[in-house]
């Protein structure tokens, strides 16, 4: 099975005051096309750092990240940005919706970045919102939506471009268990409907168990759960 994202020998160290904190210590991960991969770990274990490196938002000190077999380090910043917009979707713990725009407009923004007009982008944005159960909320602004609804808008925004891989960093971490399950249901259903891969960072073992692979992060490395 082809890999959408693969990382080998990742090292990453941050300076915290006068101390050097090694977050990644030679970590390897392989995200096959169409597969969901959960990364479990406590807060501060390095899950977010790993996802930032996999998504090209940060660079490792050592090691290599490949997107569809191409080394990210060999790409220009422009090419990285274009590839990321075309092939990756991101969902975070906080929705990061723009308050002055409607749900439809927030979801359409990645398509606007691709230079689609609002009229061109609207049908795909509406379909993505319909897919996460918000077809009746297209013209509502974030302040008019519940926390779970805002996070489902964020899911629709991440999937509207039909990316090859979705990177989700604690996407339900700010919700109670009932809403978390609801949002994750929408995310997983849409990812699977589109045949996308998913990399999920979470501390929730129940959500992780629904993914195809489960890994635990500790001391800068990944080990299979079980």
Domains of the chain (ranges; CATH) run 31-60+72-224 (3.40.50.300)
Average pLDDT along the chain:
88
Measured CA to CA, the distance from residue 107 to residue 173 in angstroms comes to 21
Structure confidence at residue 1 (pLDDT): 57
Higher pLDDT, 5 or 17: 5
Measured CA to CA, the distance from residue 42 to residue 40 in angstroms comes to 7
* CA end-to-end distance (rounded Å), the chain: 23
Q: Which two tokens stand for residue 20?
A: 């050097």
Dihedrals phi, psi of 6, to nearest 5 degrees: -140, 135
pLDDT tens-place string over residues 108-130 = 999 998 888 999 999 999 999 98
Residue 94 confidence (pLDDT) above 80: no
pLDDT tens-place string over residues 178-197 = 778 888 888 888 888 888 99
| Four-residue CA torsion sign, 224, 94, 56, 110 | positive
Dihedrals phi, psi of 79, to nearest 5 degrees: -65, -40
pTM of the model: 0.88
């Amino acid at each position: 099975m082809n890999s959408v994202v693969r990382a080998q020998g990742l090292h990453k160290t941050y300076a915290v005051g006068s101390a050097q904190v090694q977050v990644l210590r030679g970590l390897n991960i392989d995200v096959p096309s169409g597969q969901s991969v959960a990364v479990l770990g406590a807060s501060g274990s390095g899950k977010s750092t790993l996802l930032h490196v996999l998504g090209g938002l940060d660079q490792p000190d050592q090691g290599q990240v490949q997107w569809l077999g191409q080394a990210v380090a060999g790409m220009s910043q422009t090419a990285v940005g274009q590839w990321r917009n075309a092939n990756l979707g991101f969902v975070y713990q906080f929705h990061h919706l723009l308050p002055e725009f409607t749900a439809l407009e927030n979801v359409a923004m990645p398509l606007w970045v691709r230079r689609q007009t609002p009229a061109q982008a609207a049908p795909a944005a509406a379909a993505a919102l319909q897919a996460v159960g918000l077809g009746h909320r297209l013209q509502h602004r974030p302040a008019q939506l519940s926390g779970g609804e805002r996070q489902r808008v964020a899911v629709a925004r991440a999937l509207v471009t039909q990316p090859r891989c979705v990177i989700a960093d604690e996407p339900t971490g700010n919700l109670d268990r009932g809403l978390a399950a609801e949002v994750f249901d929408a995310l997983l259903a849409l990812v699977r409907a589109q045949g996308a891969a998913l990399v999920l960072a979470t501390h929730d073992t129940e959500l992780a168990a629904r993914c195809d692979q489960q890994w635990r992060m500790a001391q800068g490395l990944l080990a299979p759960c079980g």
